[in-house]
A and B are shown apart, each in its own frame.
Chain A
Amino acid sequence: MQTWVLIVALLILGLAGYYLGRSRAVASADGRAASLHSVPSYYGMYVAIWAAVPGLILVLVWLSIAPIVRDNMVLSAIPPETVTAWAQEMLPADLFAAEAEAIAASGTDGLTGPQVELLMVNIVNVAAGSSFVSPTVAGILVGPAEHMNSLGELSSWGLLVIGLGLACAGLYTARRRLAPHFRARNRVESIINVFLIICSTIAILTTLGIVLSLLFESARFFGIVPIWEFLFGTQWSPQIAIRADQVGSSGAFGAIPLFVGTLLIAAIAMLVAVPVGLMSAIYLSDYAPPRVRASVKPVLEILAGIPTVVYGFFAILTVAPFIRDLGAAVGLNVSANSALAAGVVMGIMIVPFISSLSDDVINAVPQSLRDGSAALGATKSETIRQVILPAALPGIVGACLLAVSRAIGETMIVVMAAGLAANLTVNPFAAVTTVTVQIATLLVGDQEFDSAKTLSAFALGLMLFVVTLCLNVIALRVVKKYREKYD
């Protein structure tokens, strides 16, 4: 409650600061705004920032730190008798018997980590008046709960008072500093600069966090399964025996079949998508009459909006049987879940990416180049092949790359159409599986995150990350080299 009051108050103070700062700046220049160093609104913004931002930062910091401080204070203040009573009620008898002495001697320090967490949850529930706690426990914990509530109250009021104080102080000092020669514009710009840096840092840190969490979990996996076995093993069957007497569950973590499967399906998809997408882009940009273009392009883009699950239906219900029957007709043995079906449907899914992006880059090639080529007596197709496509190539490569990443990262179509069998094969008529499909199946349902089976998902994720990263780096190189040659 107090926090919301404070935030609203900060915003109002900021607004007030804006007008106060502006009017003060104008007044300090005897009403001649032109003689100020900056436009008056910059002075207003400067004061507004000083009024609102420190308080908002305080709120953020306070809200993230205060609960921790509060919990620690509550825990350390619980008398050992209360802890004993609670433990007697909540812990299994044998555990309680083992720990009773330690608890009686040192209160909460006698509990294990998870037990302390449980206790804390109970206290929070009691404090909130929730009915998740049995009345007996509620009776025992009434003291700590009240303690927690009073601390919380204190913290909220403290935040409100300090926040308002900061805001007023900021407003006052910032406003006092204003003078005609004060460089408000530069100050505001540098504050905005800092803000932008913080935002981009957040993005970078998030990426870093994702990579680190992948790395840590993968490291745990590689502690169980040697890394070379994972990288070069040709056998993938991630079932591990839970009990020693189980059969047929030795567990093999060779990732090669998965990566071969992924690359096979992605390659088939690109074989379908690149020609179709590029050709339709060329048709749309250089051949289609404006009316056709205006209606075909949106239709193509609708393709991009179809959920991949629906493509999956299409793959299993239409494309896979069709390919199987076709194969049967020419005497080929095509599996019901074939890489071909998944790849073709994935290719269709990717077509709008390539065609729409390529169409944009092809259109961006200046008309003067087309005219120049036409004036030399080149035909349309000569112009496109020798002038337009080379000029648009960086963008087309970029579009294809985006498509490859989509293909490699795509899960749903493959789950439905290509299956789960980790066969090591490049035969497009066989059933294969991909990295993302395996990650999905490994983590479906309730899992404990300490077996090799679940941890292998993180190793696969890491590999996938590394592969796509390499792809991007290579593509950037290619595009750059090309740019140097042509721009």
Chain B
Amino acid sequence: MSMTSEIASEPSVSPPPQAESEARAKMTSRGVEVHYGAKRALHGIDVDILQHEVLALIGPSGCGKSTFLRCLNRMNDTIEGCKVTGEMTLDGGNIYDKALDVVQLRARVGMVFQKPNPFPKSIYDNIAYGPRIHGLAGGKEELDGIVQSSLERAGLWEEVKDRLSEPGTGLSGGQQQRLCIARAVAVSPEVILMDEPCSALDPIATAHIEELIDELRVNYTIVIVTHNMQQAARVSQKTAFFHLGDLVEHKETQEIFTNPQDERTQGYITGRYG
């Protein structure tokens, strides 16, 4: 009960009751297990995600990166047969608490999906959708401003500023991906989860998104899944390596790339791992 109201009213003020070293932990995960039906996809994940930090999740395909990401804003709830156990907190409040309002949680923890999923609406309405729902803009001008700045931050503004009323589904795959990033940024969540946001982007757009991530880090906390080692090294402060549902290593990006402890990590990073 009290936890919920804390989450709702004063997100950044409440200091988590943990030790001093964890004071800046925005989200924590303790012993999180995920089952799809009888199949166990994650085997007890312990991670702290610090405030204003970019955490990169890397690992071979099918190892559970997206699954873990979806746990962080409870998107797994919509998948039939998916069961999440363990403890997961946002600003010290348990996000799997029965009393917690999932809708509010997702407004605070935004997500960009692995596959771009623009709404069948105009480009403008795609971006304005979130701000309208949450009443973030006082008037038309303010909303226009949010739309423009979001598109600018995602590096899409120049390409679409003359066709804002055209359908978002008419954009190219990479443009759609950036549209979805702009859409997530527009509601100013505290945490942004990105599932391979650059998989469909060219190097220039990728560089743009990486700049955006750097810039967002000042105000937000970011978790990004990527298959691109250079990208993980460039944008993240911490890196977590997943393998077959296990969290193998989680530490400073610098360290994991220069001095990996586990041989699976080493193999994956150096490209020896299949």
State the A residues within 8 Å of B (CB). Answer: 290, 366-379, 382, 386-387, 390-391, 485-487
Contacts and interface: CB of A to CB of B under 8 A. Distances in A.
B104 A377 contact: yes
B80 A290 contact: yes
Interface of B: 73, 75, 78, 80, 103-104, 106-108, 110-111, 113, 115, 117-122, 129-130, 133-134, 167, 169, 180, 183-184, 187, 189
Contacts of B130: 376-378
B110 A374 contact: no
A372 B127 CA distance: 12
B175 to A, nearest CB: 16
A439 to B, nearest CB: 43
Please provide the 10 A-B residue pairs with the shortest distance between their CB atoms, ordered closest to farther.
Answer: A377-B107, A375-B111, A368-B117, A376-B130, A372-B117, A486-B120, A377-B106, A391-B120, A379-B103, A378-B133
A487 B167 contact: yes
B117 A376 contact: no
Nearest to B106: A377
A206 B243 CA distance: 66
Contact of A376 (B115, B120, B129): B129
From B104, B118, B129, B167, residue with most partner A Cβ within 10 Å: B129
A487 B120 CA distance: 6
A401 B189 CA distance: 42
B120 A377 contact: no
A484 B243 CA distance: 45
Q: Would you call the interface of chain A mostly helix, strand, loop, or mixed?
A: helix
A86 B246 CA distance: 104
Contact of A386 (B104, B110, B111, B129): B129
Contacts of A370: 78
Contact of A378 (B75, B80, B103, B120): B103
Contact of B78 (A374, A378, A390): A374
A374 B120 contact: no
A375 B129 contact: no
A369 B118 CA distance: 7
B78 A377 contact: no
B11 to A, nearest CB: 14
Given A377-B104, A379-B103, A372 B180 contact: yes
A379 B113 CA distance: 18
From B80, B110, B121, residue with most partner A Cβ within 10 Å: B121
Contacts of B129: 373, 376, 378, 386-387
Given A377-B104, A378-B103, 4 more contacts: A368-B117, A374-B75, A376-B184, A378-B129
Given A376-B133, A377-B104, A487 B169 contact: yes
Contacts of B119: 369, 372-373, 387, 391
Nearest to A377: B107
Nearest to A366: B117
Contacts of A387: 119-121, 129
B121 A376 contact: no
Given A373-B119, A376-B183, A377-B104, A485 B167 contact: yes
30 contacts: A368-B113, A369-B120, A370-B78, A371-B75, A372-B113, A372-B183, A373-B129, A374-B75, A374-B103, A374-B106, A375-B184, A376-B106, A377-B104, A377-B106, A377-B107, A377-B130, A377-B187, A377-B189, A378-B103, A382-B133, A386-B129, A386-B133, A387-B119, A387-B120, A390-B120, A390-B121, A485-B122, A485-B167, A486-B169, A487-B120
